[in-house]
Structure 1
Amino acid sequence: MPLPRLRKTFIYSIAAAALIGLTPPAGAVSTDLRFPAFAQAVAEAAVGHDEVAAFYRETGYQPIWTGQEPGERARLEALLKAILSAGDHALPVSAYDTTELQAMMRAVSSPRDRGRVEVELTRLFLTYAHQLQSGILTPSQIDAGMVRRPDRRDSTDLLTSFVGAENPDAFLHTLVPTSDEYARLMHKKFELERLISAGGWGPTVPASALRPGDVGMTVVALRNRLVAMGYLDRSATITYDADIQRAVQRFQENAGLSADGVAGPSTIRALNVAPEERLKSIIVAMERERWLSIDRQNRYVWVNLTDFTARIVDGGKITFETRAVVGQNRGDTRTPEFSDTMEHMVINPSWYVPRSISVNEYLPGMIASGGGSAGHLQLIDGRGNVVPRSAVNWEAYSPRNFPYDLKQPPSRGNALGLVKFMFPNKYNIYLHDTPSKSLFNNEVRAYSHGCVRLQKPFEFAYTLLAPQEADPKTYFHSVLDTGRETQVNLVNPVPVHLVYRTAYSDLRGQMSYRADIYGRDAKVWAALEAAGVRLPGYES
């Protein structure tokens, strides 16, 4: 996006002033930048910043910003120009206030002064580069379920690459996340900012529910809200007519609600969400996109926890999609966010009951009934042998000393259904079938102990097997019909991304919004605010 002329003038005036300030008065001090005082000042200023110190040691304490060579001037000008766009990327603008730095530049009168300015510029560059490329926050410090590890680039490598770049402006541009989703989110951010400055979507809808055929001023409020949000052409109707019904359906589709065209309580609540709140969701999604450096050209599995869906994506196109059930919003059952690689599927799986479920959910009933309850589960000893329940003294055990594992053999009633999809990870999370099919009919589908249940697991399996089997459906059922637990390896393992997006776009750029089911986005926004991110008009 080209910068307005006045803004460009402002950029270059800053750069010019800085460069003038870095030129010592004639005869004031030696301009030999190899003077030991410069190196000593750089070393002192870099204390506590090991990567910065390492870079300057490796380069013999040569300046990259504060000399008089054209390359140094070009880097400085490119950096000062780039940080003025920090707000466009929803970065904390306060982190890039150069007022004090410019004062330091103008006050340079010795090699030691120059060394301190040198390191401050390097810190500014690294702050910008890291925040833009891999995010402002560390996910795991925000919420224990956000276990994703952003690919933070080594600072020494960043500096070396920047210094070696022929075009500093072009290098800084390469730091911007390259995904189409990031570009669409950024575009929507600009759009919402313009909308908010113009007054937003107008009054909210003062009703708990509205239906087709209703008449009156509350329908007018609904009509006006839909017009302002772009779902309905301008109209003078006061009746909830077919056009309004279709507009409500389109809105419901983008909000993950049942698209019945009836503005029930959940639809009214979603319609009345302020554009400022949607902008927060967009900004949080941009930060999350910076955390996720993935290959989107090849096949991958995408599970959006807030959308309760699982997709297989090939070359940027969705080739399969199914509804999903995710972890309950309580305790340690919330599904974590991370990426891994799916290596195989297990057809006719056994369910090895997690210890926490065994002792907390099944054991109390088994003790109370003398081993009579949960008869579908086998007792397994430390050697893997099945232990008869009649051989157990149930009164001797408690959750602390219960020595057995619980296992459910393959069956149509197995808790994992008839197939599970494995991407081995320390969180013991995987995708699987389920006998509890009715849950997929609900709008909010957070019921599991953390794993992701699929509504159409067989079709999911066929799609995964298609690259390696001429007739994947026939092959799958030939294994299924044996009734035996069978591992089927994927010839080409598939990346799996468990993500949490309350705002995301489709290929047309249309935004969809979802509820913050685990409250994670609220935590991310609070952390971004603490780091200095602000909505337009709320900078103070």
Structure 2
Amino acid sequence: MATVLASGFSIVTPTTAEAQGLFQRLFNPENHRKQQERKRQEQLRKKAVSVKVAAPRYLNYSPDALKKVSLSPLSEKKTAEVQPTAADAETENAVAVETDVAPAAPAVLTEFDKGRPALKDLALRVLPEVGEALIAYYREHPDFVWIEDNGVTLKAAQLRKSLASSGKYGLVPSDYFVPLPAVSGLDDAARTAAMMRFEMEMSAAALTYVLDATRGRVDPNRISQYHDLPRHEVDLVAALEKLSTTLTVSDELHGHQPQNDHFRKLTAELERLKAEDDSAEQIVIAPGTFLKAGKSSPELKNIVSAISMNGSDALKQAHSETLAAYEGADLYGPELVALVKAFQKEAGLTPDGIVGKNTIKALVGETNAAKIAKVELAMERSRWIPENLGTRKVFINQAAFTATYTAPGEDPLSMRVVVGKKSNQTNFFYDKIEIVEYNPYWGVPYSIIVNEMVPKLARDPSYLDRAGYEVTTPGGRKVSSASVNWYAVAARQQSINVRQYPGRSNALGEVKILFPNRHHIYMHDTPAKNLFNKDVRAYSHGCIRLHDPKGMAAAVLGKSKDYVTSRIAAGQNEQEKVTGDIPVYVAYFTAWPEQDGNGIEFYSDIYDRDRYLLKAIEKTEATRAKARNAG
């Protein structure tokens, strides 16, 4: 031993684990291989947890850009319109003498032709579509629309008046303002140039209005990835042709606004709100106030004042002693809790005594300014969807947590719905209903597999097998969830299908209604019935959970509810095709007409989409103002 140590070598005694590993490799290689595979799978599962699928997001809105469009292409006539030269005239006269045919009459220049030279150096800063339409229209119709005898026409005055009243449709009149031409003291050439500029600016203003009225000022798909709405195509040349020939400019212009019942009601509500006196007493409760029993808040005095102002006479009479005894203390005691619960019940809220966002809204309502803003945003959103919503349709308003089926000659079927959580927002889009499925499987979306199931599988590899899910390869072969490389699935290196068997615990309940779309959103039943009792119902992964799924299925199929119940009772997973054209609008409106009556209901902005739309409109207006100032 001394010799070994003296030579510089050492003897390393293996650890117990290393010795066992060596023993396994030498004498039980199969068991060692299985252990190594289990370690590898565990490492992959832990790695898979780190992979996440990003949700759609809000974007930094980029408004429609205005471009400087030169009108010089209109400064000369098209080839077919070019006047004959002197040489051409001599030749024509010679031919006429030889053939005894009268020479062609010399072309007469119109007032527009005389003004063409002014277009050579004229450029307008407009939306690209407007610039293209101006050139296309005046090439085919080389004549004035708003000028006559070197002066402004009555039609131009009507147009200016109509554009100035655009605020009643939620638009901004300054976007379409064109000053009258200042021609006093100008020579003929300068006067002609000023009148030609006025002509072109008036047509550009009218076409900008037509675009805004028809498709909206904002492109929703640039606001967020939660919007999926094709922008309407607008034939601006045809619009200017109609304006040039109509005797009623105002009717023709405003006819480009949505011509449907809900837009008319929003327009009437906007007019009513703007006419109201907004100086009435307004009680303000600080935003973000959240008060539970036994806690204190300086906002309590405002809460009690709001109940004194807005509570019913019956409520105030029943709690008169509490109201009389309150002296402005901050402590939220039992008597005041009872008062708030009574108010909540009267307002249709859950009477839990907790003063939060919805109770505050019911207490103070909304100012006229807030209501006006919501109506104007609703008018903008109305331009994003088809003007004709259809005779039979399903309209889902996410902000109202409602879905309504309407059809000619039938009473509307309206019901409560649950929509996506703020982290799993329901998209804003429209489609067509195609299929009703009974006793559905739930095909688990990739995002839920990665974000929610993979972490559970990291702790329990057999979780899906025991929880009633079927795991299959793309070819349809069933496999154990413990045998899947979930990291490869999460990293999109391997495809796997996961679905939940039909049954009571199935996330889709007994029936689902499909309108195939790339967002994997549909309407369906749910075993979580208790959520329909809540006022704010944003709990799903994005799909629409229906309070009365059998009723909705029966409505879109044109069958009875008993028929749907019988199909479900058969216990088979079956699909039935929906006949007819039934569009579905998965929309978002914080102001919308009541189902019964002509009033407008106002809703909370659960996803903050009003805020983002307001930002988009502000950027649009800033871009346009900058263009106006640039000249």
Q: 1:337 to 1:397 in 2, by over 3 A?
A: closer
User: 1:57 — aligned with what?
Assistant: 139
Q: Kindly indicate whether residue 513 of structure 2 is the aligned counterpart of residue 425 of structure 1.
A: no
Residue 389 of structure 1, CA deviation:
4.4
Q: Which amino acid aligns with 1:163?
A: S
* Aligned mates of 1:302, 1:32 — CA distance in 2: 53
State the TM-score, normalizing by the size of structure 1.
0.77
Q: 1:306 touches 1:514 (CA, 8 Å); kept in 2?
A: yes
Q: 1:432 touches 1:453 (CA, 8 Å); kept in 2?
A: yes
User: 2:383 — aligned with what?
Assistant: 290
Q: Which amino acid aligns with 2:264?
A: A
Structure 2 matches for 1:272-351, cutoff 5 A? 272=364, 273-296=366-389, 298-315=391-408, 319-330=412-423, 333-351=424-442
Structure 2 matches for 1:237-256, cutoff 5 A? 239=320, 252-253=347-348
Of 166, 172, 196, 2:253 maps to 172
Residue 381 of structure 1, CA deviation:
0.9
* Aligned mates of 1:476, 1:436 — CA distance in 2: 20
Tell which deviates more after alignment, 446-455 or 154-163: 154-163
Residue 399 of structure 1, CA deviation:
1.7
Q: 2:246 touches 2:252 (CA, 8 Å); kept in 1?
A: yes
Give CA deviations for 1:387-441 in whole Å, capped at 9, x if unaligned.
2446x26587562134312122322322211211111122221111112222222
* Aligned mates of 1:140, 1:481 — CA distance in 2: 42
Q: 1:285 touches 1:504 (CA, 8 Å); kept in 2?
A: yes
User: 2:224 — aligned with what?
Assistant: 143
Kindly name which structure, 1 or 2, has the bigger radius of gyration based on alpha carbons: 2
Give CA deviations for 1:23-61 in whole Å, capped at 9, x if unaligned.
xxxxxxx863223725844985599522222222232x3
User: 1:32 — aligned with what?
Assistant: 111
Residue 473 of structure 1, CA deviation:
2.9
User: 2:66 — aligned with what?
Assistant: none
* Aligned mates of 1:247, 1:511 — CA distance in 2: 25
Q: 2:442 touches 2:508 (CA, 8 Å); kept in 1?
A: yes
Q: 2:470 touches 2:499 (CA, 8 Å); kept in 1?
A: yes
* Gap regions ≥5 residues in structure 1: 1-29, 534-540
* Aligned mates of 1:361, 1:220 — CA distance in 2: 44
Structure 2 matches for 1:485-524, cutoff 5 A? 485-506=573-594, 507-524=596-613
Residue 305 of structure 1, CA deviation:
0.3
* Aligned mates of 2:165, 2:341 — CA distance in 1: 40
2:276 is paired with a residue whose SS is: helix
Tell which deviates more after alignment, 375-384 or 187-196: 187-196
Q: Which amino acid aligns with 1:421?
A: I
Q: 2:307 touches 2:343 (CA, 8 Å); kept in 1?
A: no
Q: Which amino acid aligns with 2:222?
A: Q
Give CA deviations for 1:89-145 in whole Å, capped at 9, x if unaligned.
22123213333x544799684354443322211111012222233322111122221
* Aligned mates of 1:177, 1:489 — CA distance in 2: 32
1:170 is paired with a residue whose SS is: helix
State the TM-score, normalizing by the size of structure 2.
0.67
Of 148, 153, 164, 1:84 maps to 164
Residue 224 of structure 1, CA deviation:
6.0
Q: 1:68 to 1:152 in 2, by over 3 A?
A: farther
Q: 1:132 touches 1:176 (CA, 8 Å); kept in 2?
A: yes
Q: Which amino acid aligns with 1:341?
A: K
Q: Kindly indicate whether residue 241 of structure 2 is the aligned counterpart of residue 160 of structure 1.
A: yes
* Gap regions ≥5 residues in structure 2: 1-108, 294-299, 324-338, 623-631
Residue 516 of structure 1, CA deviation:
0.6
Give CA deviations for 1:248-282 in whole Å, capped at 9, x if unaligned.
579835xxx34x59794432344334332222212
* Aligned mates of 2:619, 2:184 — CA distance in 1: 29
User: 1:26 — aligned with what?
Assistant: none
Residue 520 of structure 1, CA deviation:
0.3
Give CA deviations for 1:471-526 in whole Å, capped at 9, x if unaligned.
x2343233223322212111213110111111223242333221111100111123
1:123 is paired with a residue whose SS is: helix
Q: 2:344 touches 2:359 (CA, 8 Å); kept in 1?
A: no
* Aligned mates of 1:105, 1:411 — CA distance in 2: 83
Structure 2 matches for 1:104-119, cutoff 5 A? 109-110=188-189, 111-119=192-200
2:575 is paired with a residue whose SS is: strand
Q: 1:209 touches 1:263 (CA, 8 Å); kept in 2?
A: yes
Q: 2:465 touches 2:481 (CA, 8 Å); kept in 1?
A: no
* Aligned mates of 1:93, 1:515 — CA distance in 2: 28
Residue 238 of structure 1, CA deviation:
8.5
1:346 is paired with a residue whose SS is: strand
* Aligned mates of 2:392, 2:184 — CA distance in 1: 50
Give CA deviations for 1:176-209 in whole Å, capped at 9, x if unaligned.
3323322332333233333354x13433469988
Q: Kindly indicate whether residue 569 of structure 2 is the aligned counterpart of residue 481 of structure 1.
A: yes
Q: 1:219 to 1:310 in 2, by over 3 A?
A: closer
User: 1:12 — aligned with what?
Assistant: none
